Amino acid sequence: MGYAQVIPMPERSIGRSGRDLFLSHKDITIVMVPYELHSIFPKAVDELYRNTQIPFNLILVEGNAPEAVRVQLERRQRQHGNMTIIYTNHCPALANAYNLALPHIKTRYALFLDNEARLTKGSLESMMAAADEFHASVIYPQDSMMPRRIHTYRAEDQIVETVETFGLRPCFLISQDGLHGSGKLFDETSSPYTIGVDLAYKMRSRGLVMKEQKGAKIEMRLTGPVQAMDLPIFRVQWSRERYFQSMEQIEKKWGIHIENNAAYDSWLQGKMFQAERPVGLEVLFNHMASSMRDNSRRVHDAVLNFRAFGWAKESYPTKINAR
């Protein structure tokens, strides 16, 4: 499914044009996007407001969330007032969701955050202070789960350089000079496992500093089994095809070779296996398809369509709702 252009949404009762938001005096805009689940969005927004003490703007890319989730997000928008929602008619991959927010960031700094990573109290302030102190264009929090070091090799297998970047949690603070001139911050083929690599090499190619701030930490939300409403976004994010495409593209783009450790590969394989496994009504449809002799092609086509679109609601144009 194609990636739609973001267009202004007509004024509605729940918000206005957003002009006041984008020209506000605040120093930081927080961009929150779905990582692999829609269902935890409302709780993620609540935790963000609870743990952030300084004034901020919030741009939330809802990513074709189910109606029940959208209603809760709009309720929080009315409650807080400094929140802009970008709606899409497709489930965007993580990098694409981040790119949709770029044209609307007018503050000194932007924090890119997925809806499963929770910044501990004081982390945002610590990252902003570090950016000023070290004149860094990108600051990312400490991620003890899966930090990554990318090695670049010569033909004789000698390491030319080692670049440190964050792992599977693409959470980072970026200044206006880091955003400026980047166009789309990430390629559309980027995946959670290549976002950090692409960002690190892009900043290096422009002579900009990217630094870890150990005083800032992220904690992971514990979630149960993937719910039916989350399957469409989960499968987009952990598509095996997207994984290999993004790895090939990032290695060719920067002339590097990425080798993941065994734990990293095992984690990724588990995610992709879960995304490919039929669940719920799909299992029922599969049994029906295998047991029917007549009209089996019709049932088979129904299964394929069901897998392609999940429990998709009626689509609507990509739009912005700002308050």
Token pair 């939300």 is found at 221
Provide the residue-wise pLDDT of the chain in tens; the chain has 323 residues.
Answer: 333 334 333 333 233 334 344 434 479 999 999 999 999 999 999 999 988 888 999 999 999 999 999 999 999 999 988 899 999 988 999 999 999 999 889 899 999 999 988 888 889 999 999 999 999 999 988 776 555 666 666 555 656 666 777 766 788 999 999 988 656 788 888 888 788 888 888 888 889 998 888 888 888 776 677 888 899 999 999 999 988 899 899 888 888 777 766 777 888 888 899 898 876 554 444 444 445 444 555 555 555 444 444 443 333 344 566 55
Task: Give the domain CATH number at 27.
Answer: 3.90.550.10
In a domain, 296, yes or no: no
In a domain, 108, yes or no: yes
In DSSP terms, which residues pair with 140 in a beta bridge? Answer: 212
What is residue 185's three-state secondary structure?
Answer: coil
In a domain, 95, yes or no: yes
In a domain, 44, yes or no: yes
Interatomic CA distance for residues 184 and 135, integer angstroms: 23
Number of domains observed in the structure of the chain: 1
State both tokens at 136.
């860094």
Interatomic CA distance for residues 46 and 23, integer angstroms: 24
Find out whether 66 and 106 touch, Cβ atoms under 8 Å.
no
Burial of 121 (0-12, 13-18, 19+ CB in 10 A): exposed
In a domain, 72, yes or no: yes
In a domain, 272, yes or no: no
Strands across the sheet with 319-322, in order? 7-8, 319-322, 83-87, 57-61, 28-33, 109-114, 172-175, 138-142, 210-220, 117-119
Domain with 187, as residue range(s), is: 7-222+314-322
In a domain, 212, yes or no: yes
In a domain, 286, yes or no: no
